[in-house]
Chains A and B, each alone.
Chain A
């Protein structure tokens, strides 16, 4: 019987690796297909960030003074891209919570597929989704006056950093979604900490405009460090303007640190689902 023979053959390491990659791609494709089929998801991931760009550019922008070359729209774009990358994780956490709750993860675990594929495929699909959002925001940004001022490679570097940041936050969200396993709870309080963390940062306003006690936090928290680094990559240091603090290494160390803590926690939570 062919099926019985198949079970007795132990696949070698190379075969297992090929399967693991193929499984992760299958799950990625599935998640992206689902995203494309649900209009609400598209609105949430494309339309909403665009509205944010326009609101900040034209409603709040006039009242916010910055010393950045190019004015507020130059200051804003790296901030809003960072914020969008961070908020992409809501969809990650909710999707995993729903799959855990509905028994989808159980069913997938009964298949001879790689254990890593569900999480990897989720992160890869969310990374692609995030990239599409970032590119749309950049296009809108260009339409309302934003320009990269530091060359092509640093501009690409900014997008890569935003992706790395977003995927890192998605890892945290994987853990939260798999532990809470309840869509409403994830939406209501699982990720509420992201709001103060992104707004009490250099994303939308210069930190100097905040009260002293808040500045101490805002100056040293990871989202500020990441967004400052993105800003430096996008705009560069220009003569006559105050130097932009690169923060790049600090940002990378922070992201690596978060990954080292939450990556294994997410994997552990995945193993314990059901």
Chain B
């Protein structure tokens, strides 16, 4: 089996513009079968556009993409038989019950009535919706609606599952529940492409992560690889007397090859100290002691994906405001 054949999702040089907005500017990535790919980026980075091209809802301007070897443009019908799309509960008809919603989605996937019933029952049970199954979905919480939506997309046992921001807007409890469901799906071998704005979510769920900004892949790798790009551990502390911040920074400057990141408002100092472990902590305490600076919360931590984002883009992970029109003009497919 060559590399292309083992790829569940393969994307080459994908371009898509809406008028003057270049939503995708040459995206490349590959998702091996049975793995979870996290697509991370701020609002308007191009994540949703990429998912819409891969799920045959939008025609690319150029470049190719395939799902399990089927081209998303030329073999769209075959692709639709292989994929499931879920995310923000848009497939749920809130006037109908959970069970009815599953029946409709199952029938539209051409499952028999008896399959729809048994599979539906299984999924309701598995996603903790059995008790609410015969209530209209409008009485469900946000988390329940998302779970129902996800259940609906699993009815045809899709080989590749697209989850477009599945936890956006959920409360922490709903989010954790969704995470455990996604983890379980991944364990059963479903290939998952997950878009998210949350760094911890990608960190938690994905085998590999691509970071997209302004329609381009700006970083790619496992969570650990991305964190290594930051340059090892981060030493953090807060200077209690803010007028002494500069003294403190000078004192610890020798511990790192790079400049410290200083938040002047809170007196918080962060410094990349490489892979020296607690050695760095000891040295920092000594250095700060020599300048008699009182600090709080001195700690050594693994870099978060926030640090990664900062390291790759030079700014924090925030919406860049360049939102592509979700219902704009351009080529579409039926």
Contacts and interface: CB of A to CB of B under 8 A. Distances in A.
Contacts of B136: 37
B6 to A, nearest CB: 12
B77 to A, nearest CB: 7
B232 interface: no
Nearest to A6: B81
Interface string B29-64: 000000000000000000000001001111000000
A107 B77 CA distance: 14
A67 interface: no
A214 interface: no
Contact of A115 (B70, B158, B327, B334): B334
Interface string B48-92: 000010011110000000001010000001111111010010110
Contact of A8 (B55, B78, B109, B158): B78
Nearest to B101: A30
A113 interface: yes
Contacts of A108: 91, 108
B110 A112 contact: yes
B239 interface: no
Nearest to B136: A37
- State which size class the interface on B falls in: 35 or more
Given A30-B93, A104-B90, A112 B109 contact: yes
Nearest to A116: B334
Contacts of B56: 109-110
B108 A23 contact: yes
A38 B70 CA distance: 42
Nearest to B79: A7
A26 B107 contact: yes
Contacts of A107: 85, 90-91
A33 interface: yes
A37 B80 contact: no
A33 B157 contact: no
Contacts of B109: 111-113
Interface in B132-172: 136, 156-159
A19 B158 contact: no
Contacts of A181: 327
B95 A38 contact: yes
Contacts of B90: 102-104, 106-107
A215 interface: no
Contacts of B307: none
A166 B95 CA distance: 25
Q: Which of B80, B108, B136, B326 has the most CB of A within 10 A?
A: B108
Contacts of A237: none
5 nearest A-B pairs in the assembled complex, by CB-CB distance:
A271-B334, A103-B90, A107-B91, A112-B80, A37-B95
10 contacts: A3-B159, A4-B82, A7-B81, A23-B108, A26-B107, A30-B100, A30-B104, A37-B95, A106-B90, A112-B110
Given A3-B157, A7-B78, A30-B100, 6 more contacts: A3-B159, A103-B88, A106-B57, A110-B83, A112-B77, A271-B334
Interface of B: 52, 55-58, 68, 70, 77-83, 85, 88, 90-91, 93, 95-96, 100, 104-105, 107-110, 136, 156-159, 326-327, 332-334
Interface of A: 1-4, 6-8, 10, 19, 22-23, 26-27, 29-30, 33-34, 37-38, 102-104, 106-113, 115, 117, 181, 270-274
